[in-house]
Amino acid sequence: MTDYMIATFRPRAKPYTYTDGRGLFLLMTPIGSKLWRFSYRFDGKQHTIAGGSYPEVSIVLARVWRDAMRQQLASGINPAEERWKQKRMGSFSRRAIVLRSFEQAARAWIETRRPGWSKRYEAFITGRLEVDIFLIVGKQEISRITLEDIRKALRNIEA
């Protein structure tokens, strides 16, 4: 699925879906809303959870969200229950759940900025992050990045 394909989707009399793969799909409503959904099985039961609307949640961000939900499933966590717990604790933030690692957050940021960038500039920024930053703090959860991690990344850039 691509942005171009999504732009061609038109409302019908009844809701219908377009599958992106690995449980992620776009629900098209009769009034024209395009809604991300993730479908999965947990403890023998089928579940579907909402992931926001398109274009507010881009296809890249929706895929990152889907991968985060699949990681929770692989860890034996029901994503719907986890989301409910987060809401109950008052600390629910879809972006915080989806963007656990620095690399995921940086790539989502690139996706939001990309429309205003040239292909060359996008490649430059992505390349710099991949070479200088992701190797040091890319896989770390954002909340666990320390001042020392930032210093290491800066020393890597200076080298």
Instruction: Please tell me whether the peptide bond between 30 and the residue prior to it is cis, using omega within 30 degrees of 0.
Output: no
Please report the sign of the dihedral spanned by the C-alpha atoms of residue 49, residue 51, residue 55, residue 59: negative
Do 143 and 80 reside in the same domain of the chain? no
**Distance of alpha carbon 68 from its chain centroid, rounded?**
7
Do 107 and 151 reside in the same domain of the chain? yes
Do 86 and 130 reside in the same domain of the chain? no
Do 64 and 16 reside in the same domain of the chain? yes
- Which amino acid is located at 126 in the chain? T
Print pLDDT tens along the chain (159 aa).
888 999 999 999 999 999 999 999 999 999 999 999 999 999 999 999 999 999 888 898 999 999 989 999 999 999 999 888 777 665 444 454 455 788 888 888 888 788 888 999 999 999 999 988 888 888 888 777 888 888 888 888 887
Q: How many domains does the chain have?
A: 2
Nearest-5° Cα angle at 44, 42 to 50: 40
What 3-state class would DSSP assign to 50? Answer: strand
Do 35 and 105 reside in the same domain of the chain? no
Do 107 and 40 reside in the same domain of the chain? no
Alpha helical stretches, state H, the chain:
3-8, 59-74, 79-88, 94-98, 102-113, 119-128, 134-137, 147-158
- Which amino acid is located at 42 in the chain? F
Domain range for 122 is 99-159
- Please provide the DSSP assignment of 112-145 as one string: HHGGGS-HHHHHHHHHHIIIIIHHHHTTSBGGG-
Structure tokens at 31: 């009034």
From 51, 76, 93, the end of a domain falls on 93
Angle of helix 102-113 relative to helix 59-74, nearest 10 degrees? 160
From 61, 78, 93, the end of a domain falls on 93
Do 62 and 2 reside in the same domain of the chain? yes
Give the CATH number of the domain where residue 18 resides. 3.30.160.390
Question: Is-above-0.75 flag for pTM?
Answer: no
From 59, 93, 127, the end of a domain falls on 93
